[in-house]
Amino acid sequence: MVFNNHSGSNQPNPSPNQPDDQKSNFRWVGGGFLILAAGFLLFSVASSSLQSGDRESVPYSRFLEQVEADQVKEATVAPNRIRYELKGNQAEAGSESAQTFETVPIQNDQSLTELLRQHDVEFSAVPPQDGGWGGVLSWVLLPLLFFGLWSFILRRGQGGAGGAGILGVGKSKARLYSEGDTKVTFDDVAGVDEAKTELQEVVDFLKNSDKYTRLGAKIPKGVLLVGPPGTGKTLLAKAVAGEASVPFLSISGSEFIEMFVGVGASRVRDLFEQAKKQAPCIVFIDELDALGKSRGSQSPFAGGGMSEQEQTLNQLLNEMDGFDANTGVILLGATNRPEVLDPALQRPGRFDRQVVVDRPDKIGRKAILEVHLPAIALADDVDVAKLAAQTPGFSGADLANLVNEAALLAARRNGDEVTMADFSEAIERVIAGLEKKSRVLSEKERTTVAHHETGHAIVGSLMPGAGKVEKISIVPRGVGALGYTLQLPEEDKFLVGEDELRGRIAILLAGRSAEEVMFGRISTGAGDDIQKATEMAERFVTVYGMSHKLGPIAYDKRQQQFIEGMGNTRRAVSPQVMEAIDREVKEIVDSGHRVALAILEHNRPVLEEMAQKLLEAEVLDGETLAAELDKVDPPAHLSEWLMGKGEVPDHEAAQRYSLEQVFHHS
Which positions from 184 through 213 interact with ligand ADP, judged by CB under 6 A? Answer: 189-192
Binders of ligand ADP among 226-285, rule CB under 6 A? 229-235
Closest CB 488 distance from Zn ion, rounded Å: 17
Smallest separation, CB 232 to ligand ADP (Å): 3
Q: Which is nearer to Zn ion, 121 or 526 (by Cβ)? A: 526
Instruction: Give the footprint of Mg ion on residues 201-240 (CB under 5 A).
Output: 234
Buried b (16+ CB within 10 A) or exposed e, 63-90: bbebbeeebbbebbbeeeebbbbbeeee
β-partners of residue 222 are 331
Q: Looking at 104-112, 249-257, 291-299, 392-400, which segment touches ligand ADP (CB under 6 A)? A: 392-400
Q: Of the residues 453, 515, 618, 628, which is catalytic?
A: 453
Q: Return the number of the residue (232 or 333) whose C-beta is nearest ligand ADP.
A: 232
Enumerate residues 6+ apart whose C-beta is below 8 A from 363: 191, 388
What does 529 interact with, of Zn ion, ligand ADP, Mg ion, none (CB < 5 to 8 A by kind)?
Zn ion
Q: Which does 258 bind (CB under 5 to 8 A by kind): Mg ion, Zn ion, ligand ADP, none?
A: none
Least separation in angstroms between CB 618 and Mg ion: 24
- Beta carbon of residue 284, minimum distance to Mg ion (angstroms, whole number): 9
Going residue by residue from 233 to 252, which x/- string records binding to Mg ion, judged by CB under 5 A? -x------------------
What is the distance between the alpha carbons of residues 389 and 449, in angstroms, rounded to a whole number? 17
In this complex, which beta carbon is closest to Zn ion, that of residue 316 or of residue 517? Answer: 517
Total interface residues for ligand ADP by CB under 6 A: 17
Strands (E), 213-299: 222-226, 248-252, 281-286
**Which residue type, as a one-letter code, is found at position 45?**
V
Q: Which partner from the list Mg ion, Zn ion, ligand ADP, none does 397 bind, CB cut-off 5 to 8 Å by kind? A: ligand ADP
Q: Which of residues 321-380 bind ligand ADP (CB under 6 A)?
A: 334, 368, 371
- Residue 112 phi/psi, 5° resolution? -60, -45
Q: Which of 205, 308, 315 is nearest to 261 (CA)?
A: 308
SS3 377: coil
Q: Is there a catalytic annotation at residue 453? A: yes
Question: Residue 262 touches which of Zn ion, Mg ion, ligand ADP, none (CB < 5 to 8 A by kind)?
Answer: none
The H or E element containing residue 582 is: helix 575-602
The smaller minimum CB distance to ligand ADP, of residues 165 and 396, is found at 396
Nearer to Mg ion, 9 or 234 (CB): 234
Q: How far is the CB of 235 from ligand ADP (least distance, A)?
A: 4
**CB distance 361 to 618 below 8 Å:** yes
Chosen from Zn ion, ligand ADP, Mg ion, none, partner binding at 229 (C-beta under 5 to 8 Å by type) = ligand ADP
Contacts of 56-59 spanning 24+ positions with Cβ under 8 A: 56/96, 56/98, 56/101, 56/102, 57/101, 57/102, 57/103, 57/104, 58/101, 58/102, 58/103, 59/103
Q: Which is nearer to Mg ion, 282 or 648 (CB)?
A: 282
Q: Which residue is nearest to Zn ion (CB)?
A: 511
Q: How far apart are CA 232 and CA 162, in angstroms?
A: 25
The candidate with the shortest Cα–Cα distance to 355, out of 233, 219, 488, 252, is 233
**Contact string (CB under 6 A) for ligand ADP, positions 145-184, x = contact:** ----------------------------------------
Our CB check for ligand ADP shows the closer of 397 and 486 to be 397
Identify what 235 binds: Mg ion, Zn ion, ligand ADP, none; CB under 5 to 8 Å per kind. Answer: ligand ADP
In whole angstroms, how close is the CB of 369 to ligand ADP at the nearest point? 9
How many alpha carbons fall within 13 Å on the CB side of residue 613? 17
Which lies closer to ligand ADP via its Cβ, residue 353 or residue 372?
A: 372
Least CB distance to ligand ADP at residue 224 (A): 13
Which window, 120-128, 223-231, 532-540, 561-569, contacts ligand ADP (CB under 6 A)? 223-231
Strand order in the sheet with 619-621: 484-488, 468-473, 619-621
CA 381 to chain centroid, in Å, comes to 41
Residue 511's binding partner out of Zn ion, ligand ADP, Mg ion, none, with CB under 5 to 8 Å set by partner kind? Zn ion
Complex with Zn ion: residue 481 or 643, whichever CB lies closer: 481
Nearest distance from C-beta of residue 525 to Zn ion, angstroms: 6
CB 37, CB 148: distance < 8 Å:
yes
Residue 660 backbone dihedrals phi, psi, to 5 degrees: -60, -35
Residues 408 and 52: their CA atoms lie apart, in Å, by: 64
The mark string for 396-415 relative to ligand ADP (x by CB under 6 A, - otherwise) is xx--x---------------
* Nearest residue to ligand ADP on Cβ basis: 396
Nearest to 171 by CA among 146, 149, 154: 154
Amino acid residing at 471: K
Q: In whole angstroms, what is the distance from residue 663 CA to residue 157 CA?
A: 68
541 touches which of Mg ion, ligand ADP, Zn ion, none (CB within 5 to 8 A by kind)?
A: none
Can you tell me the distance from the alpha carbon of 413 to that of 422, in angstroms, rounded to the nearest whole number? 10
Tell me the closest approach of the beta carbon of residue 225 to ligand ADP, in angstroms.
8
Q: Which of 449, 471, 453 is nearest to 620 (CA)?
A: 471
- What contacts 550, CB < 8 A, 6 or more positions away? 541, 577, 580, 581, 584
Instruction: Report the residue number, 510 or 606, with the smaller CB distance to Zn ion.
Output: 510
Contact between 591 and 643 under an 8 Å Cβ cutoff? The reply is no
Residues engaged in binding Zn ion (CB under 5 A): 511, 529
Considering beta carbons, is residue 71 or 234 the nearer one to Mg ion?
234
Q: How far apart are CA 268 and CA 167, in angstroms?
A: 17
Relative orientation angle of helices 308-322 and 263-278, to the nearest 10 degrees: 20
Using CB under 5 A as the binding rule, whether residue 461 contacts Mg ion is answered as: no
Residue 287, Ramachandran bin (φ over 0: left; ψ between -120 and 50: alpha; else beta): left
In the bound complex, what is the minimum distance in angstroms from residue 233's beta carbon to Mg ion? 5
CB 255 → ligand ADP: shortest distance, Å? 15
Burial 330-364 (b: 16+ CB within 10 A, else e): bbbbbbbbbebbbebbbeeebbebebbbbbbbbbb
Q: Could you list the residues that contact Mg ion (CB under 5 A)? A: 234
Q: Could you list the residues that contact ligand ADP (CB under 6 A)? A: 189-192, 229-235, 334, 368, 371, 396-397, 400
Query: Active-site positions?
Result: 453
